Structure 1
């Protein structure tokens, strides 16, 4: 039996701004067994003196794409699986070093990568994945350019599948694709419900999929006791997705105040992604981003921060997401920097811990410091409730990182 005791800790539990001091936490076989304001007796346990620093849940990034090795999705497709996997190894290792003990790959991630992480072949965070994104013909994950004419129907044909998505049209095809991704172990289903920045043939304002198609996909997820998440930029796509049963909205970049209130009333979740917008604005042209994508990116950038303010004012349930592509994955911690224009440190800490766990349907197991939860923990050299920049320092201000009870970093001995 492996036991670790963290002693003399200030604890942020994932929820409360009132951080108890002088606390002890017992870890046993990968699980938090006890949280106490008194010394914990555990003969033979490894003891780590937190010395008044902050012990808190490991961070959760609810929007990554581990295989997305370039800003051009077609380039990613052409590089094939070995290159994409090598990229994923570096990206996931960097995320863990930054204190992200859980990630949700919301497009492209698969069972082999999840198994490699779980079996210790790849050093990385706990890995949830949505499998291939479902897109209609000409939708956001149909990466063919307007000049390409071929299209062969059928789930496994080269014309309707790429590394990140599958192109489906009609209720029957949507049902089959959703079932196939769930069969492959997907933790949820992702659809593209609007146009996007990186796709070559659809404007951002475009609504995608019919009502019957979205409802059919949602039904398949519900029957599997999971949920659908939808890529959405404009208000129209956000509203119809939530109305049709989608549980989580990705991006919501162009949301307005009225729609934010409407989403909050219905209890849907939103994962904004400021990093991909503002980092791509900084380096996208240099890294080869297409000119039309840069034009669309500017539209997103002009509205993004105001959209955060609308959602904060309305009380929308928000998760932490980054969506960084290609070599920009090393900017993952800057999401705290961008969000700090609107949110307090406590709000951001909740977004990156307990709210992320809710989105993953893992509340009480992840994103918290409580008995029975997974022992995914970080020790911060300081108080992130006063200085969120401690978490935006690419792991340099983290003295310890624990994932599933395994100590992956320890500067406290």
Structure 2
């Protein structure tokens, strides 16, 4: 047996180590990708974008063409939009007599809101929180009306802080209390054009009796006189001085106010067959006449005059109440774009004396015995019309005299608008 020398043994050992290193290196190359595969991150793919033919722009300048989106498809859809907390359009409200009732209504400029109540109940009182923001039309037939009309004031517009509101409190004759909260809206579609309030009057009375509260307010019965309407009325003196007898002496003609030949008064006007009306009858007749004019203005009013400083006039024919008292209804329209307020004492009746050429020589104020109006302290809102029913004692007129009505507003007191009264019917 041959023995390996030390030199040969070293050679074999070197070769074996070399072969082992080669094998291990080859095995390491194949194994390394597999051992790193579960933990390495995926490679980023390079996406080739098409190059635009338009002018080159930097990457931070991106232009989005909104017009390219179809008009039929909205880019943003509102989901669960909050509902308004007030009523608009046509609304119906049923009242629970055992719970307080607050009705919130939208009220827009250039619009009104009509609120209707059951026919079995009437209005006992109305309190306006701030008439400059929202006011109720003062109907001359308020004691029989079953509805109210609410007008917005000039300053009743939505505010940035949402703090502009107004409230109107009503109590019905049954005792029911209603609170109308008015919310200013800018969109006319959100205006509460009509609101019908329904409730059982007997249930209201029953619940108030249980609570020990008063019912049938105002003592309304069939035999009791009607409560005065909210139309402002005033009886200006119940007694009148006797008419002075006209003397035929020359001195009396010189001292005459008109200084003109006295006209012959028809016998029917000088001593009519109608008996003298009482104050209550005059008030009732004026109220009824005013209500008739409001119901059918085209039938009773004359053509409107040309506006002067924002005011225009229209008159009815003079109505004979009895042998002495006459009634005239005057309509005053605000054709301006702002609120106008009439001068205290307007409208005024005047006896005007003219010369032979029609020029005014003398103007004398004619006393008014009874007045009823739909105006609130002489305020006339833009585009609205206010009405006055005037009762006066018919004077004796000369051939060159006539009765006219004059109306002035606070910003043009020296330039009143006037119109001559039409003949009596």
TM-score by length of 1: 0.23
TM-score by length of 2: 0.23
Which entry has the higher C-alpha Rg, 1 or 2?
2
Judging by fraction of residues, say which structure has more strand: 2
